[in-house]
Amino acid sequence: MHKNLASFLFVLIFCCSMFCESCKKEQADTQASRLVGNWKKIQYATDDNNNGILDAQEIHNVQVGFDDYMFFKADSTGSETVKANGETSIYAFRWNLPIGDSLYRQGVGHLNISYYIVDITSSNLTLVSNQSKVAAWYIYAKM
């Protein structure tokens, strides 16, 4: 009898623990949750002919020896690290997603940048900035 009771309790505890494990909520897949992490710029482009689309000759790979990383934290802070010509610069910022596909990055001084999120997946990020007269595209890979 004790053996049956012990077996029953073991099975009951096992089933309860499996049920509780299956009830855990998964984090919602949102733009903000996909944005969090470390991103490396792999390509950039400018719409040189102002036709509103990127032509093949306007897309360029990042030059060898130039590294640009953006790190977005879940607490809406982040940093951009630029390594070029043997020097490293780090720019801290706060970020938010104010409306729809907009990304606003607020840094020190004049380092406030508004982006449009063209595409964001778990592995790729494409941003467009219209800070100057010509739109600039930035393509990142998640690290």
Task: Flag whether 50 is in a domain.
Answer: yes
Left (φ > 0), alpha (ψ -120 to 50) or beta: where does 113 sit?
beta
Q: What is the CATH number of the domain that holds 112?
A: 2.40.128.280
Instruction: Copy the structure tokens of residue 96.
Output: 């938010």
- For the chain, what is the domain count? 1
- What is the spatial distance between Cα 69 and Cα 140, in angstroms, rounded to a whole number? 8
| Tokens 């951009």 found at | 80
Question: Is-contact 79 92, C-beta < 8 A?
Answer: yes
**Tokens 């380092």 sit on residue:** 111
Residue 11 lies inside a defined structural domain of this protein: no
User: pLDDT at position 138, please?
Assistant: 94
Give the 3-state secondary structure of residue 43: strand
DSSP E strands, the chain: 37-46, 59-61, 66-72, 77-84, 87-96, 102-107, 113-120, 124-129, 136-142
110 is in which domain, residue-wise?
Answer: 31-142
pLDDT of residue 110: 66
Residue 48 in domain = yes
Is 8 a member of any domain?
Answer: no
10-residue averages of pLDDT along the chain (143 residues): 49 50 63 94 90 86 94 96 94 92 85 90 91 80 96
Q: Which two tokens stand for residue 139?
A: 């393509």
Question: Tell me, what's the pLDDT at 13?
Answer: 52
The H or E element that residue 93 is part of is strand 87-96
Q: What is the pLDDT of residue 29?
A: 85
95 domain residue, yes or no:
yes
- Does 73 map to a domain? yes
Residue 42 lies in a domain: yes
Query: Does 114 reside within a domain?
Result: yes
Q: What is the DSSP string of 113-130?
A: EEEEEEEE-SSEEEEEE-
Token pair, residue 34, equals: 């996909």
pLDDT at 130: 73
What integer pLDDT is reported at residue 10 of this predicted model? 45
Instruction: Output the pLDDT for position 99.
Output: 86
pLDDT at 9: 42
